[in-house]
Chain A
Amino acid sequence: MWINMGPQHPMTHGLWNLRVRVEGEVIRDVEPEMGFLHRGIEKISENRHYNEVITLMDRCCYVAGMSWEQLFIQASEQALKVTPPARAEYLRVLSAELQRIASHLMWYAAFVQDLGLMTPFLYGMRDRDLVLDLFQSYTGARMTYEYMRVGGVRNDAPHGFTDQCRKVLDWLLARFVEYDQLCLGSTIFRKRCDDLGVLKAPEAVAYGVTGPMLRSAGVRRDLRKDRPYSVYDQVEFDVPVTDTADVTGRYLVRMEEMRQSVRICRQCLDWLDRNPGPVLADHLPRWLGAPYAPVGREAYLLKRNYPTGLGFSMVEEPHGEAGAYVVNDGGEHPYRVKFRSPVLINIWAAKRYLPGYRIADIPPIMGSVDVCVGECDR
């Protein structure tokens, strides 16, 4: 018998449909259905100025907007042959790591609520708000930032930001201990998570699974270490792995990742305190620095000087490895933009890690995947 779990289901956290074939209580086959949130971001990007695509990136993944901005900006800078100043790179890494904390807290809150634990949900949302407050203080927005630009970032952090940020990080580190006590110390949590949704390393690699799901299977792969982009080679951090490959393993990996993100943030803050400077490249072509997209005769005249090129960027986004491929054919708009969504592939592997378990196990297992349908459907 086939059952539709979705598109409206408490387990899905967004619009997608998990078709499940069951025999009694036991899952035999699954068929994820996507596309309920498809907005055609790749197509819209083809008709927009590079800096105008940043707006779409925030909406692409609304819980990890900064990571997707960084992804697209890095690929565009390679395609357009622009180099950002060092201070902008540190602000980007700081933003991306704060975003990782915010995203993991959002996951934590939603995940434990699926298990029926209400207190951790409230704690997670409360602490995520502190990170969003930080974002608001230097970008003006809580979720859709439009902060990064081709050639740097829009503005520097305000006076007193670094001290405020350190306070929040100290607060968060103390809260992470509470989270672990609430979850790992709870028998209900352990019984619903241990040895569930097991996806061992060889299958995870074959299915293209990335991010915390892959690291929980014992594969120490993190693009920030393996292929350092931006200034990740300048900061110290560890890549947490577990070898249980189950739901608890993914929980442990994400919790430790947040601690490592705090470590990275502190190093970035120290660097930002010591090194004032510009945050936007000053040699930008006029059409990139302009607040508007040149049109008509002006665009025609400028077009003769447009560079051409290909841009490829991969970032370790909170959900996994996100990729962007930008084809610049010399126009003011990208000719083609292709994004790789880690969530789409992680959900797809459900064909591998769901069969054999019971229907009641689906919420914890799919919760541990950290689904963001915005980036999955794009």
Chain B
Amino acid sequence: MRGVELSAALAARFGDKFLGLDPFPGLVGRVRFDPSVARALFEYLRDEQGFVHLTMVGGIDWVDHREVFYTLWSDRDRTYLQLSADLPADHPTIASAVPVWPGANAHEREAWDLVGIRFEGHPDLRRIFMPEGYEFHPLLRSFPIHEPEELEVKARSD
């Protein structure tokens, strides 16, 4: 029921930038949205739908495009919601969620480090696990997993 309400509200608010709400067992659903409205969508969900807690941010490399997903938790409804947006593989950029949820800072640095998604407006978008200056984003499908001896780890820039 919550999913139907939310779907109608998002369609009224964001029009054709809201691409649909897929069912997802155990969650309200999976909202697909156009990355151009990311910031407005985050603020709307936090302020008017009660999704106060950002649980995780991650990316998936589908080779021809990249997906970025967010999981949100609502204290009011005691439930999760997933957001998902498709980004072009040659320019995977989306607005940062840090101004909306400060806790997104580490999540987005991780997504940049491992999947190579750029978050515009992030205060400090550096690698978090891999050394600075490392040339790969390891969770991309193009990462050469079979030739570890050919990888050369460069020193940290500082």
Contact = CB atoms under 8 A, between A and B. Distances in A.
Interface of A: 34-35, 38, 40, 42-43, 46-47, 78, 205-209, 221, 226-227, 310, 312, 314, 321, 323, 325, 327, 335-336, 338, 340, 344-345, 348-349, 352, 377-378
B129 A205 contact: no
Contacts of B128: 34-35
Interface string B44-72: 00000000111110101100000001010
Contact of A35 (B25, B78, B131, B143): B131
Contacts of B54: 208
* Closest 7 pairs (CB-CB, A-B): A208-B103, A35-B129, A38-B129, A338-B58, A340-B56, A348-B106, A207-B103
Contact of B139 (A43, A207, A314): A43
B75 interface: yes
Given A34-B128, A325-B58, A325-B71, A312 B80 contact: yes
B82 A42 contact: no
B101 interface: yes
B138 interface: yes
B27 interface: yes
B102 interface: yes
Residue from B69, B103, B104, B107 with most neighbouring chain A CB atoms (10 Å): B103
B10 to A, nearest CB: 20
Size class of the contact patch on chain B: 35 or more
A35 B56 contact: no
Contacts of A335: 60
Contacts of B1: none
Nearest to B82: A312
A209 B103 contact: yes
A43 B75 contact: no
Contacts of B127: 35
A344 B106 contact: yes
A345 B103 contact: yes
B60 A327 contact: yes
Given A310-B24, A312-B82, A348-B106, A208 B71 contact: no
Nearest to A35: B129
A312 B26 contact: yes
Interface string B114-138: 1000000000000111110000001
Contacts of B155: none
A111 B144 CA distance: 41
Interface string B90-121: 00000000000111111100100010000000
B24 A208 contact: no
B101 A208 contact: yes
A103 B68 CA distance: 33
Nearest to B141: A46
B138 A314 contact: no
Contact of A336 (B55, B60, B103): B60
A351 to B, nearest CB: 8
B145 interface: yes
B52 A205 contact: yes
